[in-house]
């Protein structure tokens, strides 16, 4: 019996040894195929609002009711969106590798597709929190399809106004240190659907260890010529991830 146990432990160790730590950084292009628009898109909800009015700390201070109504509409849009093939392919990769996803997106499409390790840099759309102590876990509340709206005057557990659990412009990014630590452990680093123009998320590529291969998936040109070991896959997220899995992983 003991020998059999030792065999299984050894087999597990062998499998774990050959699993790669793959870190994936995703941006707005990851969700385009799901029909979920962002403020950098050419159409959609953002066309009717100024970014500084609904996505900045000063905008929240000026008019919290406008900000909450805007994110109510965004949640309604997200509830009608579905994970695309690219989301499901990343979830499928967990069967072969240790996958960590760092996302600039506030949607929950990675989680809905089945990915188990997702770090949100810019917050989570389906959550609300205290406007006094944003990261207080006792005040963070997850919304659902039956209850996705924040009404004027709704309060958090600490008595302050409820606000979106979103990192507004003019606010620090609390998860960036965790993201750096995850990036430094990568055996393979994959970038999907981001222009690498938004900081500090764009700086993560600087923390990839030397000689670690980097795969960049985007249908549009991305200025990364100064970095080494980059394979540029000029395709949409789903097509690019499929090619990555077929040819490189």
Q: What is the DSSP letter of 211?
A: T
Report the predicted TM-score, pTM, of the whole model to 2 decimal places.
Answer: 0.90
Tens of each residue's pLDDT in the chain, 249 residues: 454 444 444 444 444 446 899 999 999 999 999 988 665 554 556 677 888 999 999 999 999 999 999 999 999 999 999 999 999 999 999 999 999 999 999 999 999 999 999 999 999 999 999 999 999 999 999 999 999 999 999 999 999 999 999 999 999 999 999 999 999 999 999 999 998 888 999 999 999 999 999 999 999 988 776 666 799 999 999 999 999 999 998
Distance separating alpha carbons of residues 237 and 144, to the nearest angstrom? 27
Angle at 207 between CA 100 and CA 173, to 5 degrees: 70
Closest CA to 59 of 148, 154, 171, 150: 171
Question: Which domains occur in the chain, in start order?
Answer: 19-34+84-122+173-249 (3.40.50.1220), 42-80+128-166 (3.30.1600.10)
| Active-site choice (87, 110, 120, 122) | 122
Distance separating alpha carbons of residues 219 and 227, to the nearest angstrom? 19
User: Is cis: bond before 200, omega within 30 of 0?
Assistant: yes
Closest CA to 69 of 148, 137, 131: 148
Q: Does the annotation count 110 as an active-site position? A: no
């Amino acid at each position: 019996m003991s020998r059999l146990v030792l065999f299984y432990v050894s087999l597990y160790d062998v499998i774990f040894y050959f699993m790669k730590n793959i870190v994936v950084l995703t941006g707005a292009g990851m969700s385009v195929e799901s029909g979920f628009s962002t403020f950098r898109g050419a159409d959609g909800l953002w066309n009717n609002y100024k970014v500084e009015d609904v996505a900045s700390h000063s905008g929240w201070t000026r008019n919290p009711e406008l900000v909450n109504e805007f994110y109510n509409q965004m949640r309604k849009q997200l509830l009608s969106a579905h994970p695309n093939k690219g989301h499901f392919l990343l979830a499928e990769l967990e069967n072969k590798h240790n996958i960590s996803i760092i996302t600039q997106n506030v949607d929950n499409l990675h989680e809905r597709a089945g990915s188990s390790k997702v770090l949100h840099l810019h917050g989570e759309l389906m959550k609300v929190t205290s406007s006094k102590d944003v990261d207080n876990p006792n005040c963070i509340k997850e919304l659902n399809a039956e209850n996705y709206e924040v009404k004027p005057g709704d309060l958090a557990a600490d008595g302050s106004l409820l606000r979106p659990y979103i990192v507004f412009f003019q606010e620090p990014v609390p998860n960036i240190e965790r993201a750096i630590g995850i990036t430094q452990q990568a055996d393979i680093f994959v970038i999907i659907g981001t222009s690498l123009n938004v900081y500090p998320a764009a700086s993560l590529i600087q923390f990839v260890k030397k000689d670690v291969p980097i795969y960049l998936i985007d249908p549009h040109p991305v200025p990364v010529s100064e970095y080494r070991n980059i394979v540029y896959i000029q395709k949409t997220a789903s097509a690019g991830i499929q090619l990555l899995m077929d040819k490189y992983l």
